[in-house]
């Protein structure tokens, strides 16, 4: 935006560095304990300057970043941290025109960043099991003008995804390892998978699940951001930081029949193939059990 127009979002930063997101409208007023700011003082002018309340208190008016939009989002679930979202966008190789599945939508924090990455020609397919969260996310995305780039489903992903051959899939759910077969089926060959998990034991379970299936190039990471005190002649880190948000797991879909696995060292390759065989056997046994149960139910009294 070269100048601020009615309908634009603007970020006001207070002298004590509090941040407020406002939607500009002609004749509008924004009120705080420091006094009011008239939207008309911002409209028709470039952002990136100081505006004053009637009491003379100064606020910095800026164009909001994606991180500001996520931070200020009305929410009812834990929302993604900017540091993790940035890594997810990079690792899932998202840019305009790409397609990505996400679950769960939550309040739409990550969804809005995914939409901004793939728009205007790509698409986000986002699944959420809770009706209340689904409704909040829809409202949030609509308010930000992003709904037309997103398909929102109020569905449990245990039933699978509607899409196939998508570029990427990201899971922010408690037990992502339960849905890996659905993920594999929905991704295109070489497609990008990612998940966010708060605890290491969940990461271990997901790793076991990925290693038992045709996924490769697996990585586990965490992103730490250490902010600094803004004192040039005594520059040092802040005393506090976000020490833990979650662990990120990434992997790529590989072909089911790709058993050459030359990219894995010999010893690990054998273990990998063994796990795949065990997973196949378990799936066969589960299918046989289900069939036997069905037959029993079908026997007339």
Ligand X SMILES: C[S@@+](CC[C@H](N)C(=O)[O-])C[C@H]1O[C@@H](n2cnc3c(N)ncnc32)[C@H](O)[C@@H]1O
Give the residues lining the site for ligand X (CB under 6 A).
Answer: 77-80, 103-104, 106-110, 127-130, 133, 156-158, 172-174
Measured from the CB atom, the residue of 80 and 100 that comes closer to ligand X is 80
The least distance separating ligand X from the CB of residue 209, rounded to whole angstroms, comes to: 15
The least distance separating ligand X from the CB of residue 75, rounded to whole angstroms, comes to: 7
The least distance separating ligand X from the CB of residue 96, rounded to whole angstroms, comes to: 21
The least distance separating ligand X from the CB of residue 91, rounded to whole angstroms, comes to: 15
Measured from the CB atom, the residue of 176 and 191 that comes closer to ligand X is 176
Measured from the CB atom, the residue of 40 and 155 that comes closer to ligand X is 155
Measured from the CB atom, the residue of 51 and 94 that comes closer to ligand X is 94
Measured from the CB atom, the residue of 108 and 214 that comes closer to ligand X is 108
Query: Rounded to the nearest 10 degrees, how much is the dihedral formed by the CA atoms of 14, 20, 25, 30?
Result: -60
Measured from the CB atom, the residue of 127 and 184 that comes closer to ligand X is 127
Q: Which residue is nearest to ligand X (CB)?
A: 104
The least distance separating ligand X from the CB of residue 126, rounded to whole angstroms, comes to: 9
The least distance separating ligand X from the CB of residue 110, rounded to whole angstroms, comes to: 4
């Amino acid at each position: 935006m070269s100048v601020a127009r009615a309908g634009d979002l603007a970020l006001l930063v207070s002298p004590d560095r509090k941040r407020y997101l406002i939607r500009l409208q002609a004749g509008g007023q924004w009120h705080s304990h420091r006094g009011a700011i008239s939207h008309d003082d911002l409209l028709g002018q470039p952002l990136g300057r100081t505006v004053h309340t009637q009491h003379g208190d100064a606020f910095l008016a800026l164009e909001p970043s994606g991180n500001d939009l996520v931070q200020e989002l009305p929410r009812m679930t834990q929302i993604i941290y900017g540091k993790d979202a940035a890594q997810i966008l990079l690792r899932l190789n998202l840019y305009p025109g790409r397609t990505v599945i996400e679950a769960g939508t939550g309040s739409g924090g990550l969804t809005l960043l995914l939409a901004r990455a793939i728009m205007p020609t790509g698409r986000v397919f986002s699944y959420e099991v809770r009706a209340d969260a689904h409704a909040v996310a829809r409202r949030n995305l609509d308010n930000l003008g992003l709904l037309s780039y997103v398909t929102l489903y109020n569905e449990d992903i245990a039933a699978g995804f509607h899409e196939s051959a998508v570029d990427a899939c990201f899971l922010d759910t408690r037990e992502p390892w339960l849905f890996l077969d659905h993920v594999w089926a929905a991704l295109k060959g070489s497609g990008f998978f990612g998940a966010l998990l708060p605890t290491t034991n969940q990461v271990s379970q997901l790793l076991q699940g990925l290693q038992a299936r045709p996924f490769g190039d697996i990585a586990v990471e965490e992103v730490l951001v250490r902010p600094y005190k803004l004192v040039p002649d005594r520059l040092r880190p802040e005393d506090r930081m976000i020490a833990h948000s979650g662990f990120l797991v990434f992997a790529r879909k590989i072909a089911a029949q790709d058993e050459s696995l030359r990219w894995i060292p010999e010893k690990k390759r054998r273990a990998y193939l063994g796990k795949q065989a065990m997973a196949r056997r378990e799936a066969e046994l589960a299918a046989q059990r289900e069939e036997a149960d069905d037959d029993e139910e079908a026997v007339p009294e």
